[in-house]
Amino acid sequence: MKKVLSVLLSLVFAFSCFSVLCFNSEKAYAKTFSEGDFSVRADELRRPAVLKKGASFTIKGKLKANREIEKMELRVTDMNSFKKELKYSEYVYSKRINLSDYSQKLNFSKLPSGEKEFKIILFDEDGNKLVIKRKFTILGKAKESVHITKQCRITVSRGDVSAVTDSSDSTSWSSGKMEIVFPDDKQVDGIFIKWHKASTNSYTIKSYSADGEVLDEYSEKSYEMLHKYYEMSEDAVKAVINLKKTKDNNGICCLRVYEEGRVGASVERWEAPETGKCDLMVISAHRDDELLYFGGTIPYYLSVKEKNVYTVYMSGRDRLRIREALAGQWSMGNTTYPIFMDFPGGYHDGISGTLQSWGGEEAVLKKLVEKIRRFQPDVIVSHDINGEYGHPTHKTTAYLIQKAIKLAGDKSKYKESYEKYGAWNVKKLYLHMYSKNKVTMNWNKSYAKLDGKTPFQAACVAYDKHVSQHGSWSMTSKKVTQYPSNKYGLVYSTVGADKKKNDFFENVKPKTEESQNKQSK
C-alpha cells in the first residue's frame, strides 16, 4: 500500500510540474502600480511566464486607474534582438480596462524562442506614462544576441579571423595578434570570448583610447573561465589581443563585440566565485543533475531568498556540455561562475570504480575539502545516497560529500588548504531523498522575483539550454519525476534539527565577517 501511495504521489507531482510548465498556470493576483500621481490597480492580472514555442496565451486582468487612461499599448520585445515582435495600441479614454478584450490582438503562438519582455504601457491625458512589465521565456533554441562584431575592423597577424566571427564553436584562432577597431559611431560595452579551454590560455587583452592610452588590461592571471566577458571603457576605440599558442589548446573559438546599452539577456558576464562568500553550495554529479533532481533549489535560493549560490559539477570534460551548463545557470540569473571539478565522466563500476577513475579517494577528498574551505558554504545540497536511479557518479558524490564536510572542519587534515583558508564547519548537509529528517520543498509557487515563474519553471528554462540531452531526458519524464526534486533529508547539522521542514536555511544565521573570521581560525 505504501509503495502504491508513493507512486501515486510521484505521478501527481510530475503532472503538476508538467501543467505548470506547459500551460503556465498561475494564480491571478491584485496589485497597484504607480508612477508619480498616476496609479493603476490591476485585479486578476495574468501575464506569461514560460511558454512552449507555438503555444497561445490569453492575457487577463481588470485595470482601474485613478485618472482617465488616454492610450494603452501592449508590446512584446525580444531581449536579445531588442526588436518589438508584437505590438498593439489603442486610445481608450477610460479609467477602466478589461485586458481580456485585447488578448486576441497579440498572437503569442507566432513568437520565436527566446527571452522576452511583455509590457502594458498606459498614458494619461497629461502624457504621464505608467509601465507594467514582465520578462518571460518561449522555450526552444533562441537566436544569438545581436552584436556589432561585423561592424568592427578585425585583423590578425596569422590565421583566419572568420574562425572566431562565424557561428561555429568548432573553429578557432590559436595564436598571434588580433586588432579589433570599433565602429566610429558606436560605444562598445565589451567583448565576449568563448575559449577552447578554460585553462592554459596565455594572453593579454588591452583596450586603447584615440590617443593610444591603455584603458583596460586583462590577462590569463584572472579567474579561468571557458566563457568570459571583457568590459571596455567608454573611450575605447580599439582592442588588441596577443595570444600565445599552448599545448592542446586552440585558443579562441568565438568572439563577439557588444554595443553599450544593447547587451542581450543571454550574453554571459560571469563573476568569479569569491572566497568565503558562498551561502548554498549545490554539488551536482553531472551538468544538468542540479536541475533534473534538485528542481527549483537554485532559482529559489538565488532569486527569492537572495542567497549566494555556488554550483559544483563533479564530473565531465566535454566542452559542449559545459557550455550548455553555463547557459542554463545564466538563464536562472546565476552570475557566479560554476566550479568544475573536472573529474572524468562515464559510467564506472560502482563507487570504488568511480574513485579509481578520478585518481583515488584521498586525492578527490583533498580537492573537495579545498573547495569547501575556500568558499565556506553554510549549507550543502547533493545527491541521493542510492544515486537516484543507481548512477555510480551520483552515489560517489553523495558518499564523498559526507566525508568532506567533516574533514573540512578538521585542522589536522590537508594542511595546505587549511593554511590558506583555515578550517570550515558546514552548518547543514541535505541529500536528495534521504530517508531520515525529511524536508519537503515547494517549487510550484510563483514569485515576482522570478518574473512570475515558479522555481520549477525557472529550472525548466535552464534545462532547455541542455539541448544535447533532450533526446533522452526531460524535467517531466517519468524516469526523472519518480525521484521527486522537492524531497530531501537533513543528514548533518551543527545548528539543530529542522522543525518547519521546508527550508534549507532553517536555524542558519546570515553570514557576517565576524563569524567568518571566527570559524576560519
Task: Decide if 10 is inside a domain.
Answer: no
CB atoms near residue 19 (< 10 Å)? 13
Q: What is the domain-level CATH number for residue 112?
A: 2.60.40.2550
3-state secondary structure of 109: helix
CB 92 within 8 A of CB 70: yes
Domain boundary among 88, 105, 138: 138
Q: Do both 216 and 327 map to the same domain? A: no
Instruction: For residues 299 and 187, state if they share a domain.
Output: no
Mean pLDDT for 359-366 is 98
Question: Buried (b) or exposed (e) across 459-493, using 16+ Cβ within 10 A?
Answer: bbbbbbbbeebeeeebbbeeebbebbbbbbbbbbb
Chain-centroid distance of CA 284 in Å reads 14
Given 259, 289, 323, which residue is the final one in a domain? 259
Range list of β-strands (E), 414-497: 428-432, 438-440, 487-493
CA distance 379 to 252: 37
Q: What is the pLDDT of residues 64-95, one digit of tens each?
A: 999 999 999 999 999 999 999 999 999 999 99
pLDDT (tens digit, 9 = 90+) per residue, 235-250?
999 999 999 999 889 9
> How many CB atoms lie under 10 A from the CB of residue 239?
25
What's the structural domain count of the chain?
A: 3
User: Is 274 inside a domain boundary?
Assistant: no
Please check whether residues 130 and 176 belong to one and the same domain: no
For residue 67, tell me if it sits in a domain. yes
Do residues 215 and 346 share a domain? Answer: no
330 located within any domain = yes
pTM of the model: 0.93
Cα-based angle 210, 216, 219 (whole degrees, multiple of 5): 135
* 197 and 244 both lie in a single domain: yes
Report whether 279 contacts 301 (CB < 8 A): yes
Whether 273 is covered by a domain: the verdict is: no
Cell of 69: 487612461
d(Cα 429, Cα 437) in Å, to the nearest integer?
11
pLDDT for 53 beyond 60: yes
Q: How confident is the model at residue 26 (pLDDT cuts 50, 70, 90)?
A: low
Residues 6+ apart with CB under 8 A from 26: 20, 46, 49, 446, 452, 454
> Which residue, among 192, 365, 161, has the nearest Cα to 263 in the 3D structure?
192
Is 406 domain-assigned?
yes
CA 63 – CA 47 distance, rounded (Å): 13
Q: How remote is the C-alpha of 139 from its chain's centroid?
A: 15
CATH code of the domain in which 293 resides:
3.40.50.10320
| Model pLDDT for residues 376-405, shown as the tens digit of each residue | 999 999 999 999 999 999 999 999 999 999
Q: What are the residues facing 340 on neighbouring strands?
A: 313
Candidates 337, 277, 296, 327; CA nearest to 467 is: 327
Please tell me whether residues 168 and 60 are part of one structural domain.
no
The reported pLDDT for the residue numbered 1 is 41
Classified as helix, coil or strand, 80 is coil
Give backbone dihedrals phi and psi of 212, rounded to 5 degrees, phi first: 90, 5
Domain that holds residue 126: 36-138
Same domain, 162 and 128: no
Residue 105 belongs to a domain: yes
What are 265's three cell numbers? 539577456
- Give the end-to-end CA distance of the chain in Å, rounded to a whole number: 53
Residue 24: C-alpha distances to residues 4, 21, 252, 445 (Å): 29, 6, 40, 12
Cα(450)–Cα(107) distance, integer angstroms: 24
The CA-based dihedral angle spanning residues 344, 346, 347, 351, taken in that order and rounded to the nearest 10 degrees:
10
Q: Could you give the CA distance from residue 494 to residue 514 in angstroms, rounded to a whole number?
A: 18
User: 106 and 215, same structural domain?
Assistant: no
Q: What's the sign of the alpha-carbon dihedral 321, 323, 324, 328?
A: positive
The pLDDT of residue 520 is above 90: no
Q: Are residues 407 and 515 in the same domain?
A: yes
pLDDT, tens digit (0-9, with 9 covering 90-100), for 152-210 = 999 999 999 999 999 999 999 999 999 999 999 999 999 999 999 998 899 999 999 99
pLDDT of 58 above 60 = yes
Label each residue of 141-193 as H, E or C: CCCCCCCCHHHCEEEECCCCCHHHHCCCCCCCECCEEEEEECCCCCCEEEEEE
Where a domain ends, among 105, 138, 171? 138
Banded pLDDT at 516 (limits 50, 70, 90) = low
pLDDT digits (tens, 9 = 90+) for 400-447: 999 999 999 999 999 999 999 999 999 999 999 999 999 999 999 999
Task: Please report the beta strands in 173-319, taking only residues with DSSP state E, as ranges in sequence order.
Answer: 176-181, 188-195, 202-208, 214-219, 227-231, 238-244, 252-259, 280-284, 309-315
Band of pLDDT at residue 251, cut at 50, 70 and 90? very high
Q: What is the mean pLDDT of the chain?
A: 93
Q: Domain of 170: which CATH number? A: 2.60.120.260
- Quote the cell numbers at residue 107: 498572437
Same-domain pairing of 476 and 342: yes
99-113 per-position pLDDT tens digit:
999 999 999 999 999
Same-domain status, 327 and 388: yes
Q: Would you say residue 1 lies in a domain?
A: no
Say yes or no: 465 and 333 in one domain.
yes
Q: What is the 3-state secondary structure (H, E, C) of 331-346?
A: HCCCCECCEEEEECCC
